[in-house]
Amino acid sequence: MALPTEAPKRASYDVVIVGGAMYGSSVAWWLSVNPGFDGSVLVVERDPTYENCSTAHTNSCMRQQFSNEINVRISQFAADFVKNFRGYMGGDERVPELSIQSYGYMYLADNEAFAQTLRESQKVQAACGAATQIMSAAEISRHYPFYNVEDIVAGSINLVDEGYWEGGAVFEGWRRAARENGVEYVSNEVVAMAKSAAGDKVESVTLKSGEVIACGTVVNASGPRAVRTSRMAGIELPVEPRKRYTFIFSAEDPLDQDLPLTIDPSGVHMRTDGMNYLAGCPPDDDPAVDYDDFVQDHSIWEEKVWPILANRVPQFEAIKLTHSWAGHYAFNTFDHNAILGPHTEVTNFVFVNGFSGHGLQQSPAMGRGTAELIAYGEYRSLDLSPFNYERIALGQPFVEKAVI
């Protein structure tokens, strides 16, 4: 069904943001509270129901278990932001007080090489102050007796500021506050862009309804559709929509403690989800999919996920699937890390793209940094330059090993 479109109030904005979900709203809100920025901001969102965006399909967890220091620091800021959400939102009493359900991520290694990777990453995390611990199979059994650890060499877990948080509440808070601070949101779609004669600037965006809107900066916050948006400016981006499946299930004999977000060596993950449990996985064959393909594949539950759950947690032999969905990652095929900052040649085209499965937790730091970049021409809090698009132009990957 075609959604009604809205015309923007003006013909020109300092910043046009393409996409109004988690990232569009994060950048919009951070701009609206940045003391160095007093420009106009338009957010164009093609589907204001947000039904199929990644943000609506997320598993909403955060972790500090990354292999790169900057990714650890980004999640540490996320934890601070979430725990002090109302304060960051100016003490607004309509904003809920949030917390993190810190049951941790349990990475399980079934071979020495991966156990070694976990140990190396733990050192990076510990140097940043993270509480990650490496556990032997015997230690895992002692603390989490429900796991089958027959094939497990080691595990790593962090029980501080790692687990579930309410991403939806942060999204709602940002969107409402950005609007109240003067950001304009319209239901419309950016369908084309016009560049300057020299090709170094996007001068305007064209909307589906026909309006041509002049812009000082364009922010690509289009999630899995990032490459469609960048192509409007003649830019290629190594970001693809990849399908990820989520299953919610109840157990006949529930565990008597929280199930950490467990990364099974098979690639299936599982965790506590309120009174139920959640499991997720990529398909075995993982191609780029159509932007509108959200078809669930029930054979994945029957043939892959359930047997893996029952093997890892024998108490999950008797479980009942209650709910499931398929969502899209904006998957960075180049190095699995975020792509941020301006394009090397089209210098007012700014990326916030390619977050794969860890974008929700990165949204506070990446939104803040992007607002700083637009306001001051540089990052002022965390140096996010390792994520620059430039590395792609130069063919120099910045690999993140801990990707789920």
Q: How far is the CB of 137 from ligand FAD (least distance, A)?
A: 26
* Of 118 and 263, CB closest to ligand FAD: 263
What residue is closest to ligand FAD based on CB? 359
CA distance 244 to 280: 7
Give me Rg for the CA atoms of the chain.
21
The maximal CA–CA distance of the chain, rounded, in angstroms, is 67
Helix (H) or strand (E) holding 168: helix 167-180
Q: How far is the CB of 26 from ligand FAD (least distance, A)?
A: 8
Q: Binding residues for ligand FAD, per CB under 6 A?
A: 18-19, 21-24, 44-47, 50, 53-55, 57-62, 189-190, 221-225, 229, 244, 246, 327-330, 355, 357-361
The beta strand positions in 126-260, using DSSP E, are 133-136, 154-157, 163-164, 184-187, 190-195, 202-207, 212-220, 239-251
* Of 63 and 201, CB closest to ligand FAD: 63
Q: How far is the CB of 220 from ligand FAD (least distance, A)?
A: 9
Residues belonging to the chain: 404
Token duo for residue 59: 């598993």
* Of 115 and 366, CB closest to ligand FAD: 366
Q: How far is the CB of 25 from ligand FAD (least distance, A)?
A: 8
Q: How far is the CB of 59 from ligand FAD (least distance, A)?
A: 4
Q: How far is the CB of 352 from ligand FAD (least distance, A)?
A: 7
Token duo for residue 204: 């305007």
* Of 79 and 154, CB closest to ligand FAD: 79
* Of 245 and 316, CB closest to ligand FAD: 245
Q: How many CB atoms lie within 10 A of CB 145?
A: 11
Question: Using CB atoms within 10 A of its CB, is residue 131 exposed (0-12), middle (13-18) or buried (19+)?
Answer: middle
* Of 349 and 355, CB closest to ligand FAD: 355
